[in-house]
A and B are shown apart, each in its own frame.
Chain A
Amino acid sequence: MSARDSILSAIRTGLGGSRNDPAAIAAEAADLLAAPETIRPPLVAATLVDAFCEKSEALGATVDRIGSIDEVPASVGRYLEGQGLSAEIAVESAALFRDLDWGDLRPRLAVAPDAPAAVGLARHGIAESGSLVIHSGKETRILLAFLPLHHIVVLRAASIVSHLEDYAALLVGHETSPRNAVLITGPSGTTDIEGSYVRGAHGPGFVHVILVFDA
């Protein structure tokens, strides 16, 4: 008997008796998600955007609010200047970014380990936790979110969802799931030495959100 068969048969023996049919199991699983407001915290502010920003900032991220995608280069420039970083930046190969006028900035597609800064695009924000969601894909390199020291993330205000389940509902079936879906909740950190928090472990020590209100 293969390991697979022996494990499944041991489980079935252990469970014993008559088994539920798949539809009944699915119904029970759905019931376990009922009344989600009773098992999750309410948002910390009245609007999705305010709640998202409050949570992000509490985690140590910074947020800049702009009116349109065209303002992204200027916003990036302000951040780099404020942080004393060079104008050389890694930029995600999103079509959205290719058409922008980057002015004095020198965008590159390659991101080197410990590159000072990289600019990426988030699919969603999650207001409950202040998380940014990135999906791997043709234009999105997962490593762009992990190799630089400063991760600058462009997020459309309209793509902020309320709670974790609201995002999770978008991932059903492997067809809708990217290879990697990463929820980034604040800058990288560790508490592995004596439990005390140190910002900036393997991932970026700084996360800066450019929130675009282009409705």
Chain B
Amino acid sequence: MNATTRTGFKARSDAALANPTLKTAIDRTTGTAERKRAAALAGFAEYEAARSRGSAIKDHVIANLDHYLEMFERNATASGAKVHWAATESEACDIVIRLCREAGAKRVTRSKSMLGEEIGLPDALGSAGIERVETDLAEHIIQLAGEHPSHIIWPAMHRTREQVAELFNADHKPPPADDEAASMVQSARHVLRGKFLSADVGISGANFLIADTGATCTVTNEGNAELTTTPPRVHIVTAGIEKLVPSTSHAMALLRLLVRSATGGELTQYTTFHCGPKRPGDADGPEKMHIVLVDNGRSEMIANEFRDMLRCIRCGACMNHCVVYRQIGGHAYGGTYPGPMGAVLTPVLDGLAQSRDLPFACTMNGRCAEVCPVEIPLPTLLRAWRGRSWRAGLEGPRMRAGLAAWAGLARRPGLYRMASGIGVRALRLLGRSGWIGSLPFAGGWTRHRDLPGPTGGTFMERYTARGARRPEDRR
């Protein structure tokens, strides 16, 4: 939904690299996340078994997705909720806006949901003239800043404490006491309290949809989801169709993986199963509950090479451990979802032509797949996008010509020998001192680092010169 075309990936990543404050902010959050996750897993000896079981649960759901969607719809309806289906992001937004209007909503509170960001719900509410109050602390911060999330767990992680203080000082009345995190949390709590209780509609996402109860599950540490979904007259849930699990027990097995991988906790402070609207006689709760099931490209992934991505439980571990994300942050990716999982999903959502850099801006080091709690082979999926990009002819002509020349040589060993011999001799002329500090056509390398020159003739030349070894030479 976010316009990836506003500026190119390279311009955005260059701007990010030139921003030392951003780097400080990224290092603080991802560094902490990495340490806490490692500590949590060190105390969970069953992790590897839990991880394979978790991915098997998600695979089972996807293999029977139609069955579970219908089961969920049946049970959610029986609990009194109304289930809606949206094939695209615009259909989803239209449904939510219509429901808000039907409820006569002037003010809606929203509990952080990346699906909501994916479908562009914040902007759609704004265009519909409905006041939107983001209740998650990080979403509150980026709402004040007029930004999009830069991380799926910590949407405001690109901002340092000092930068948050600037925003709060300008907006909060009274302003926070100082720029310590604790004071700013208190300030946001104070500002948001009144808005929670006066909202007409509360909108949340769902971490899981429980097929056998029809409940939606949210996890938060702040308690904002329950304050968003309980006081208003209407609760609207927007959720991707891949969020299904067979039962609450299956959700529990995945929660153990999700929370440890995301924040290093064992469970979030609040794990809530929302099953229908207020029951007769209930002391509180919304009168109506609507659940909007959103496809937006997911059903297509079932049949193509990106199916494994439907296992994703949105923990953010892949981005916390990604060397590229840790240099450029989330906004440079240009899509709703950043980091390795975003580099796989953004081409699905925004089109490959718009986001072609993402699968290439990766060193293929595999750490994302290593830390993924549901064993998604992220480098393999990124490689699949590279293949599609090549086959679609999206590579530039220089790249294609260069690679064609290389492939021509690589398939003719005799010719390759000759060409590499000439190349090595040329490089040796440039690198007489051992190092090459500047090299035409390799500015990308030598702008930032020296190139060690070749040490002599090629291996093959020297090996052949030694003569074919006879059996009696062998020790």
B214 (CB) vs chain A CBs: closest residue: A174
Number of cross-chain contacts by CB at 8 Å: 292
Does B421 interact with chain A (Cβ within 8 Å)? Answer: no
Q: Is the CB of A195 within 8 A of B33?
A: yes
Q: Is the CB of B276 within 8 A of A191?
A: no
Q: Given A11-B299, A193-B164, are A179 and B278 also a contact pair (CB < 8 Å)?
A: yes
- Contact partner, B249, options A168, A178, A190, A203, Cβ 8 Å: A168
Q: How far, in Å, is B349 (CB) from chain A's closest CB?
A: 16
Query: Cβ of B70: which chain A residues have Cβ within 8 Å of it?
Result: 8
Alpha-carbon distance A191/B181, docked complex (angstroms): 9
Query: Cβ of B121: which chain A residues have Cβ within 8 Å of it?
Result: none
Write out, one digit per residue, whether chain B residues 125-150 have a CB within 8 A of any chain A CB (1) or not (0). 00000000001111001000000000
- Contact partner, B302, options A15, A177, A179, Cβ 8 Å: A15
- Contact partner, A190, options B45, B79, B185, Cβ 8 Å: B185
Alpha-carbon distance A15/B62, docked complex (angstroms): 9
Alpha-carbon distance A174/B213, docked complex (angstroms): 4
Which stretch (B217-225, B412-420, B450-458) binds chain A?
B217-225
Which of A14, A165, A190 has most chain B Cβ within 10 Å?
Answer: A190
Q: Is the CB of A188 within 8 A of B213?
A: no
Q: Is the CB of B87 within 8 A of A7?
A: yes
Query: Cβ of B300: which chain A residues have Cβ within 8 Å of it?
Result: 10, 14
Q: Is the CB of A164 within 8 A of B252?
A: yes
Alpha-carbon distance A199/B186, docked complex (angstroms): 10
Write out, one digit per residue, whether chain A residues 162-199 have a CB within 8 A of any chain B CB (1) or not (0). 01110111011110111111111111111111111011
Alpha-carbon distance A201/B186, docked complex (angstroms): 7
Write out, one digit per residue, whether chain A residues 133-165 have a CB within 8 A of any chain B CB (1) or not (0). 000111111110110000000000000000111
Q: Is the CB of B247 within 8 A of A172?
A: yes
Query: Cβ of A38: which chain B residues have Cβ within 8 Å of it?
Result: 46, 49
Query: Cβ of A138: which chain B residues have Cβ within 8 Å of it?
Result: 281-283
Q: Is the CB of A113 within 8 A of B193?
A: yes
**Contact residues of B between 181 and 235, Cβ < 8 Å to A:** 181-182, 184-186, 188-189, 192-194, 196-197, 210, 212-215, 221-224, 226-227, 229-231
- Contact partner, A202, options B32, B66, B222, Cβ 8 Å: B222
Alpha-carbon distance A151/B299, docked complex (angstroms): 44
Q: How far, in Å, is A198 (CB) from chain B's closest CB?
A: 5
Alpha-carbon distance A174/B85, docked complex (angstroms): 21
Does A83 interact with chain B (Cβ within 8 Å)? Answer: no
Q: Is the CB of B279 within 8 A of A195?
A: no
Q: Is the CB of B270 within 8 A of A188?
A: yes
Does A33 interact with chain B (Cβ within 8 Å)? Answer: yes
Q: Is the CB of A131 within 8 A of B248?
A: no
Number of interface residues of B (CB under 8 A): 109
Q: Is the CB of B246 within 8 A of A29?
A: yes
Which stretch (B260-268, B425-433, B464-472) binds chain A?
B260-268
Does B250 interact with chain A (Cβ within 8 Å)? Answer: yes
Q: Given A10-B295, A33-B250, A195-B28, are A171 and B256 also a contact pair (CB < 8 Å)?
A: no
Q: Is the CB of A182 within 8 A of B271?
A: yes
Does A100 interact with chain B (Cβ within 8 Å)? Answer: no
Alpha-carbon distance A114/B191, docked complex (angstroms): 12
Q: Is the CB of A185 within 8 A of B273?
A: no
Alpha-carbon distance A25/B71, docked complex (angstroms): 12
Number of interface residues of A (CB under 8 A): 79
Alpha-carbon distance A12/B155, docked complex (angstroms): 35
Query: Cβ of B43: which chain A residues have Cβ within 8 Å of it?
Result: 41
Query: Cβ of B281: which chain A residues have Cβ within 8 Å of it?
Result: 137-138
Does B4 interact with chain A (Cβ within 8 Å)? Answer: no
Alpha-carbon distance A41/B49, docked complex (angstroms): 11
Does B64 interact with chain A (Cβ within 8 Å)? Answer: yes
Q: How far, in Å, is B7 (CB) from chain A's closest CB?
A: 27
Q: Given A179-B285, A200-B185, are A194 and B161 also a contact pair (CB < 8 Å)?
A: yes
* B residues whose Cβ falls under 8 Å from a Cβ of A: 25, 28-33, 43-46, 49-50, 53, 56-57, 60, 63-67, 69-70, 75-76, 78-79, 85-87, 91, 135-138, 141, 154-157, 160-161, 164, 181-182, 184-186, 188-189, 192-194, 196-197, 210, 212-215, 221-224, 226-227, 229-231, 241, 246-253, 255-256, 263, 265-279, 281-285, 293, 295, 299-303
* A residues whose Cβ falls under 8 Å from a Cβ of B: 2-4, 6-8, 10-16, 19-20, 22, 25-26, 28-29, 32-33, 38-41, 93, 113-114, 129, 131, 136-143, 145-146, 163-165, 167-169, 171-174, 176-196, 198-204
Pull 18 A–B residue pairs with CB atoms less than 8 Å apart, ordered by A.
A15-B63, A19-B64, A19-B67, A39-B256, A136-B279, A137-B282, A141-B283, A143-B227, A168-B248, A171-B215, A188-B223, A192-B141, A192-B156, A194-B29, A194-B181, A195-B154, A195-B157, A198-B182
